């Protein structure tokens, strides 16, 4: 078994230690691969700072920098691995440095704890994932806006209580989900701003007597600012994951609702949309079936993601200040959720590119009554008080005398007319521009 960086002697490597290690490390090594490049980036910044305050000589810094960049290349080329007996990414990187450049490698941990090290890795990772998610969301947004503009004049029955309500349009439907993404990215922006603060230099939560230049590492790592109070810096472990989970949940909620709409509208009793046969699945016994399995899986994935904030709240609830190993388990829910949501965004855009809509839906007589509000409005425009007009049309319906006016303009882009999607695009672009 490899000597641990926290061990004081090799005698600690006994059977009891192995049992404890297997339980406490768990699946963490697998998740540490996700953090590998960010760990090296953090070490590069930390060591450059150590050189700036003369805790590393120029020769030592050049040697460390060269080898850390070599390790980073190995990570990017998938040639990096955490060896058996090495308990985490931090230990592996330090182990490689010592192995390759000797005693100098032992100096990189000066003024640093694994606590602020993993916090730094995690925040860099979450920042990177937020930017990737916003990019994928932007692609979906543009597709939705394009579909909304293309189908703004194609009528779609609106439903409330799952009962036929009023005329809507595919333009309004696609546009609604585009605007929902604006609010979803507002949540990601809030999470990004909270996460975008440098914890490096806070040590185990109580700082260090070394004259660390935390402003320098903040600049080197691209953080907007730093967590000033070292105790609070450690308190952001768990908090960072929770705010990220809440942002994931918001976007997952939008995708889940859209997935439900897709399943509903694809149903033969609605028949509003369709997809090529290759994008639906069949039944093992019923040859006529075209099942929306993609959207059912997407809905299930996104519903599971929406449970993540509660899981993390319960996991980290009622912990006192300071670091606690409980926080290690946040990776097990958060990392797969991020991956799953990105896959859902990619699949959603693919499906939207292949959606087919029905253009003559409202010709079906069962939708006649959804024009009743327009008939009421027409009487109001003729000077009849709304309540009287409402009664008039209501009685006409009861007496089977109602005649819908199909000639009423139903472009239905909302009360803002042609400006609707322009305003939504403007709002989206303003949010995107705030990510740095």
Known catalytic residues are 161, 283
Q: Which runs of consecutive H residues, i.e. helices, occur in 196-229?
A: 214-220
Neighbours of 19 (CB within 10 A): 10
Question: What sign results for the dihedral spanned by CA atoms 110, 112, 113, 114?
Answer: negative
Find out whether 188 and 395 touch, Cβ atoms under 8 Å: no
Q: Reduce the DSSP state of residue 14 to 3 states and report it.
A: coil
Q: Reduce the DSSP state of residue 124 to 3 states and report it.
A: helix
- Alpha-carbon distance of 305 to 29, in angstroms, equals 23
Which two tokens mark 354? 């292949």
Q: State the helix-helix crossing angle for 308-316 and 230-266, rounded to 10 degrees.
A: 150
* Residue for token pair 């000797």: 102
Rg of the chain (C-alpha set): 29
- Smallest CA-to-CA distance from 143 within 1, 350, 340 is with 350
- Letter string b/e over residues 131-140, b meaning 16 or more CB atoms within 10 A of that residue's CB: eebbebbbeb
List CB contacts of 386: < 8 A, sequence separation 6 or more.
376, 380
Find out whether 254 and 180 touch, Cβ atoms under 8 Å: yes
- Smallest CA-to-CA distance from 313 within 325, 330, 335 is with 330
CA distance to 197, 202, 213, 218, 382, per residue, from 236 (Å): 10, 11, 20, 16, 62
């Amino acid at each position: 078994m490899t000597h641990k960086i926290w061990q004081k002697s090799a005698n600690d490597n006994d059977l009891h230690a192995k049992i404890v290690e297997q339980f406490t490390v768990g699946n963490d090594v697998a998740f540490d691969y996700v953090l590998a490049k960010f760990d090296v980036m953090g070490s590069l910044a930390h060591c450059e700072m150590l050189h700036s305050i003369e805790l590393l000589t120029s020769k030592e810094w050049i040697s460390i920098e060269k080898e850390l960049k070599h390790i980073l290349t190995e990570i990017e080329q998938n040639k990096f691995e955490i060896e058996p007996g090495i308990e985490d990414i931090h230990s592996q990187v330090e182990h490689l440095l010592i192995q390759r450049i000797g005693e100098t490698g032992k100096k990189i941990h000066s003024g640093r704890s694994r606590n602020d090290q993993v916090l730094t890795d995690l925040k860099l990772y979450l920042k990177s994932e937020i930017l990737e998610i916003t990019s994928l969301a932007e692609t979906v947004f543009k597709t939705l806006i394009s579909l909304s503009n293309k189908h703004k004049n194609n009528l779609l029955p609106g439903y409330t209580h799952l009962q036929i309500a009023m005329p809507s349009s595919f333009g309004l439907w696609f546009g609604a989900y585009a605007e929902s993404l604006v609010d979803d990215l507002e949540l990601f922006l809030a999470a990004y701003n909270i996460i975008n603060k440098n914890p490096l230099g806070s040590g185990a939560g109580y700082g260090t007597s070394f004259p660390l230049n935390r402003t320098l590492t903040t600049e080197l790592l691209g953080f907007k600012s730093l967590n000033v109070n070292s105790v609070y810096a450690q308190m952001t472990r768990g908090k960072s994951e929770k705010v990220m989970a809440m942002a994931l949940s918001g976007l997952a909620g939008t995708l889940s609702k859209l997935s439900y709409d897709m399943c509903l509208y694809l149903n033969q009793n609605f028949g509003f949309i369709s997809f090529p046969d290759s994008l639906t699945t069949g039944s093992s016994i019923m040859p006529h079936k075209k099942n929306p399995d993609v959207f059912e899986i997407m809905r299930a994935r996104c519903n599971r993601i929406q449970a993540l904030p509660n899981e993390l709240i319960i996991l980290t609830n009622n912990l006192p200040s300071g670091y606690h190993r409980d926080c290690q388990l946040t990776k097990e829910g958060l990392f797969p959720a991020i991956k799953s949501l990105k896959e859902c965004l990619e699949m959603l855009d693919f499906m939207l590119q292949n959606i087919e809509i029905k253009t003559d839906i409202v010709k079906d007589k069962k939708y006649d009554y959804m024009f009743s509000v327009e008939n009421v409005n027409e009487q109001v425009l003729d000077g009849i008080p709304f309540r009287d007009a409402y009664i008039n049309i209501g009685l006409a319906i009861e007496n089977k005398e109602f005649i819908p006016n199909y000639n009423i303009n139903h472009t239905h882009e909302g009360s803002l007319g042609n400006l609707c999607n322009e305003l939504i695009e403007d709002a989206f672009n303003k949010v995107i521009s705030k990510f740095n």
